[in-house]
Amino acid sequence: MRQIVLDTETTGLSAENGDRIIEIGCVELVKRKLTGNNRHYYLNPERDSHEDALKVHGISNEFLKDKPKFVAIADELLEYLRGAEVIIHNAPFDVSFLNKELERIGKQSVRHCVGKVTDSLVMAKEMFPGKRNSLDALCDRLDVDNSGRTLHGALLDAELLADVYINLTRGQNSLMIEVSAAVANDERLPLIDLSQIQLPVLAANPIELEAHDKLLVDIDKSSKGQTIWRVNNLPIAGTTRKL
């Protein structure tokens, strides 16, 4: 399946309250490789951007006045997205804006056109729970160069997100490639009887137990006593005392 990494910039934060799309950036991936078959649109939103939004994207109202309206590019955009897996960071936000624009011109929602929508923010939160998972934070964590990103821009952000997505899914993809290659080559993968394998059990030493004990106490304090071992009155692992 083709993959399209998509990002938008908008006049504000609420499509339901009348905010509009001012920029759309799309980057195509085929077999996880950038193809260069990208799409980039600036749009006349027929309204001014909020001050806070201007600080984020820096696209002036004056610049957008002679740009096409969404209706002028809708068919081309939908044909480009048709059947693809669309990858978006915080997908509900961008999808809500796209759907509202499509509704205004009497067209069906995005999900009637694309193969599926994947939210890279949900993926990142599952992979890095409790950490910042903004695009900038993920670029830093996954060694994606975002030094040219001083303001938000839809095409640049889509390009960065494409690199982030590839790095997020690299391990999973390597495993899938190995299995797929074996199946494609009709290789007979050997069956292994795991019951015959004796796995060594390495006990934690006193220093490791003490560090683990301290970590659990810190987690309990951070959760204000709502950890499962306190709620269920369980002992801390590695000790005989209870919290």
| pLDDT tens figures, 111-143 | 999 999 999 999 999 999 999 999 999 999 999
CA distance 109 to 23: 18
* Residues paired with residue 87 on neighbouring β-strands, in sequence order: 5, 118
pLDDT of residue 187: 59
Question: Kind of pairing, strands 3-10 and 85-88?
Answer: parallel
Q: What pLDDT digit, counting tens, does each position of 75-113 carry?
A: 999 999 999 999 999 999 999 999 999 999 999 999 999
pLDDT of residue 147: 85
Query: Could you tell me the pLDDT band of residue 27, with boundaries at 50, 70 and 90?
Result: very high
pLDDT of residue 199: 75
Active-site residue (options: 50, 89, 112, 152): 152
Q: What pLDDT digit, counting tens, does each position of 149-190 carry?
A: 767 889 999 999 999 999 999 865 444 444 455 555 555 666
pLDDT of residue 233: 63
Burial of 195 (0-12, 13-18, 19+ CB in 10 A): exposed
pLDDT of residue 172: 53
pTM: 0.70
Query: Could you tell me the pLDDT band of residue 212, with boundaries at 50, 70 and 90?
Result: confident
* Averaged confidence pLDDT in the chain: 87
Domains, the chain, ranges and CATH? Answer: 3-178 (3.30.420.10), 200-243 (no CATH)
If DSSP codes are grouped into helix, strand and coil, which group holds residue 242? strand
Beta strands in the chain (DSSP E): 3-10, 21-30, 33-34, 39-42, 85-88, 116-119
Catalytic (active site) residue 57: no
pLDDT of residue 132: 95
